[in-house]
Structure 1
Amino acid sequence: MNTAYSLSRKQGWRRFTDTPARVRPERLSAAAVARLAPAERARHNEARHNWHANFGTIATPQLKEVREELELIVASNRQDSDRVRGAAVIDGFPGLGKTTTANLFARDFDRAARLLDGETTAEGDERIPVFRVGLTSNTTLRTLNRMICEFYGHPGAAHGTAAQLATFALDCVLKCDTRVGIIDDVHFISQNSRDGLAVSNHLKWLANELPVTFIYAGVGLTERRFFDEGLSGESTALAQTARRWTRLEVATFKQDDSWTVLIKAIEKQLVLTKARPGRLVALDGYLFERTGGHIGSLITLVTRGCFKAITTGTEALTWELLQTIRIDEAAERSRQRRAAECRRRGKKKEGNQ
């Protein structure tokens, strides 16, 4: 069965919004797994692999806070079409769940809008409450318009000038009664290049012309001076972006109770025969050391660890097993720096005694 789909196409987005939640596989004892016929055991393990890779999003405090802000911004944007709606931008370091937060909010908004207003508009067109596109490092004004048209499957998406594609995009939004637009990876826009500045200005044009609430997501936008639009000095006061966008920051975890609560929530999702309550929580300090509080790195470590635990017969996330798992390079490098800092502190403490 082909499970691949793209959220940058309406068919993929609809599949994302309408697919029911996964059913958690039954947690069997080691003896019960051993009694399964080879084919049954293979299917059981395959179901567990899929579950551990897709067991859903943990409602972290950061996610809840950003979601509440998004609900407020979108729900209060009831201005008539001749007025500009405020936008939301989810900002933060990589691997903290910015894209996931935007997608999950938009999924629920999409479901609620179609439930309330129906699957078709008053004119009989397909109702598409949300469109979503992801930018690339070479996005131009024309490619941005084309990506919006491609989401809707507009027949003219492959042709036309930037202006024509912008008109097609506007028509799609109006006909399909779209009310939220997700634009991901806006950090790829360079305010200091001609194409980047054109795209940035075009985003403001889209906000003026399209009766939707835009939700942007990007990495380190404040540090990139994205809200200043490349301006400096007194000119920054002229930047429209900073006046129109509400910045919502997704922060890293600290090694406190919220981190422990997250580990407990993840532990409850594990379908391993030798998993025991509290075993993963006992490693919360180690897990923080490995990931630096980045939930993306943590989920990668857990997912790969679960796969190896099943395939090797370990059937538990132990310190020894997790030590054999490599994750993203940023996490590995920061772990080395933290370890080196701890060693320096230890030597300094010994020298003062």
Structure 2
Amino acid sequence: MTGTAGLPSPANLALSRKEDFKAFADGPRRTQPDVLTHAQLKALSPQARADYNRSRREWHANLGPLRTPQLAELHEDLWDIIDSNLQDGDKAKGAVAVDAFPGLGKTTSVLAFAREFHRREIAEQGEFTAQGNERVPVCRVGLTGNTGMKDLNRAMLEFFGHPGRHRGTTAQLGQRALDCMLSCEVRLLALDDLHFLKWRKTNGIEVSNHLKWIANEFPVTLLMVGVGLADKGLFSEGGTKGDAVMAQTGRRTTRLGMRPFTIETEKNRQEWRQMLLALEQRVVLTGKHPGMLVDDLSDYLFARSTGHIGSLMTLINRGCQRAVRSGEETLSQDLLDAVKNDEASEKARQELEAALEKRRLTSRPRPAHRKSA
């Protein structure tokens, strides 16, 4: 299956390969299907209705990324860091670690940034280097469970499809990866799920040494994404010799986080409402109406997602799929009650629901703020 202009289908991409990442970065944005009326939907032929429903299934499964305040804040920080990393190759560049709990949109936000950076670099410098090699501004590596240093080097070579990726020592694989980065003028190396690396010692000295070598020798901004990286010891400092090794990584690495949505202040509630407004505009259901999410379901959706955008997007996606399949064509509490969500949000929802029902908490801004929005 292919997408627009012969590109691979977006549903059939593996972003750990440069051809697929390029297709992801260069491909056009999805086109939102039209919202039909009930009469228009009923008037469709069986084939046309099947095609329309399929386009909606794909659309609802890919509603993001939304430009939430969290994503905007992260992107601004990333632009600051990567644009300041224009030092010559003899100088080590500052690294970034996006370290936050699951379900807050770390990977989605980083991929959105990597896409923007790729497009900017290609637009400014062209698709080929001065030596005639393919320009690859971003190398993205997704790590697997219990990955070692040799596995990491091999994964970087897999991204480029290097013929020497299957054999060699850790050092040899690392040198081949460096050659690829230099030839293709990679400027951003994104390592996703860094917590999957083997942390054989509690202070992670082996991991830190290898990442420090990459930061020193590769002319790239190292962007690490993971959960509990601080607890793993990535940024630790202390009095021992091992901790001194870690301290250098800590000094060179900027830690960025992502916060969940909260409803503790008026500003927090306004952010939640604006995000629901943006999400409501993207829902393609014939029974959709203004306020379906922001007025009718605001408290309910916050309780079901506990302010984690990953859980919210999963719930909305699954709810839309059921609304189309069942013919209800709208999102309601009754429909969403039948939709299962991730285990973490389901376990945390009861206490939140009780507080919201008793009006001890609310996700809705005051009317004056709502009107101005």
TM-score normalized by structure 1? 0.92
Residue equivalent to 1:243: 251
Structure 2 CA distance, aligned partners of 1:158 and 1:195?
30
Residues 152-198 of structure 1: per-residue CA shift (max 9 Å, x gap) = 11110111111110010000000001111001111223544399642
Q: Is the contact made by 1:189 and 1:200 (CA closer than 8 Å) also made in structure 2?
A: no
Conserved in 2, the CA contact under 8 Å of 1:272 and 1:315? yes
Question: Can you list the C-alpha shifts for 1:43-97, whole angstroms capped at 9, x where unaligned?
Answer: 0011111111113311011110110010010001111111110011111110111
Number of the residue aligned with 1:28: 36
The one-letter code matched in structure 2 to 1:323 is: D
1:232 Cα deviation after fit: 7.0
Q: Which residue of 2 aligns with 1:57?
A: 65
Distance 1:39 1:192, change over 3 A: same
Matched, 1:38 2:52: no
Which of residues 305, 311, 324 in structure 1 aligns to 2:338?
Answer: 324
Distance 1:309 1:189 in 2: 41
Alignment match, 2:282: 269
Residue 111 of structure 1: CA displacement? Answer: 1.0
For residues 341 and 118 of structure 1, what CA distance do their matches in structure 2 show?
55
State yes or no: 1:297 paired with 2:311: yes
Q: Mean Cα displacement is larger for which, 129-138 or 216-225? A: 216-225
Q: Specify the code of the residue in structure 1 equivalent to 2:323.
A: A
Counterpart of 1:297 in structure 2: which amino acid?
S
Show structure 1 runs of 5+ residues with no match: 347-353
Query: In structure 1, how many angstroms separate the alpha carbons of the residues matched to 2:357 and 2:29?
Result: 45
1:107 to 112, 115, 121: 115
Q: 2:214 aligns with which of 203, 206, 209?
A: 206
**Hey, what's the Cα distance between the residues in 1 that align with 2:111 and 2:286?**
33
- Aligned mate of 1:334, from 348, 351, 369: 348
Shift of 1:335: 1.2
One-letter code aligned to 2:338: T
Q: How many aligned residue pairs are there?
A: 345
8 Å CA contact retained: 2:157, 2:177: yes
Summarize the Cα distance change of 1:232–1:191 in structure 2 as closer, same or farther, 3 Å threshold.
farther
Q: Deviations over 1:191-228 (max 9, x none)?
A: 44399642331111010000001111111323444311
Q: Which residue number in structure 2 is paired with residue 89 of structure 1?
A: 97
Query: 2:299 corresponds to which residue?
Result: 285
CA distance in 2, matches of 1:343, 1:308: 26
**Partner of 1:350 in structure 2?**
none
Name the CA distance, whole Å, in 2 between partners of 1:79 and 1:190.
31
How far off its partner does 1:260 sit? 1.1
Change (3 A) 1:343 1:298: closer
Would the aligned equivalents of 1:133 and 1:147 in 2 still touch at CA under 8 Å? yes
Where does structure 1 differ by over 2 angstroms across 4 or more consecutive aligned residues? 188-200, 220-226, 231-238, 336-346
Which residue type is aligned with residue 348 of structure 2?
S
2:143 touches 2:196 (CA, 8 Å); kept in 1? yes
For structure 2, the residue ranges without an aligned partner over 5 or more in a row are 2-8, 264-268, 361-373
**In the superposition, relative to structure 1, how do residues 262 and 177 fare at CA in structure 2: closer, same or farther (>3 Å)?**
same
Query: How far did residue 337 of structure 1 move?
Result: 4.4
Report the Cα distance in structure 1 between the residues aligned to 2:41 and 2:239, rounded to whole angstroms.
65
Contact 2:287 2:330 in 1 (8 A): yes
Q: Which residue pairs with 1:257 in the alignment?
A: 270
Which residue identity lines up with residue 271 of structure 2 in the other structure? Answer: S
Q: Structure 1 residues 340 and 275 mapped into 2: Cα distance closer, same or farther (>3 Å)?
A: closer
Contact 2:208-2:234 at 8 Å conserved across structures: no
Check conservation: 1:191, 1:226, Cα contact below 8 A.
no
CA distance in 2, matches of 1:97, 1:312: 29
Aligned amino acid, residue 299 of structure 1:
M
Aligned AA (1:331) = S
Cα distance in 2 between the residues matched to 1:212 and 1:343: 51
Which is further off, 144-153 or 183-192? 183-192
Q: How has the CA–CA distance of structure 1 residues 233 and 277 changed in structure 2, closer, same or farther, with 3 Å as cutoff?
A: farther
**How far, CA to CA, are the matches of 1:189 and 1:232 in structure 2?**
25
Contact 1:29/1:273, CA 8 A, preserved across alignment? yes
CA distance in 2, matches of 1:297, 1:291: 5
Q: Which amino acid aligns with 2:294?
A: V
Q: Say whether 1:135 aligns with 2:148.
A: no
Q: What is the TM-score normalised by the length of structure 2? A: 0.87
How far did residue 236 of structure 1 move?
4.4
Question: 2:203–2:243: 8 Å Cα contact kept in structure 1?
Answer: no
Q: Name the counterpart of 1:168.
A: 176
Quote the Cα distance in structure 1 between the aligned partners of 2:356 and 2:27: 46
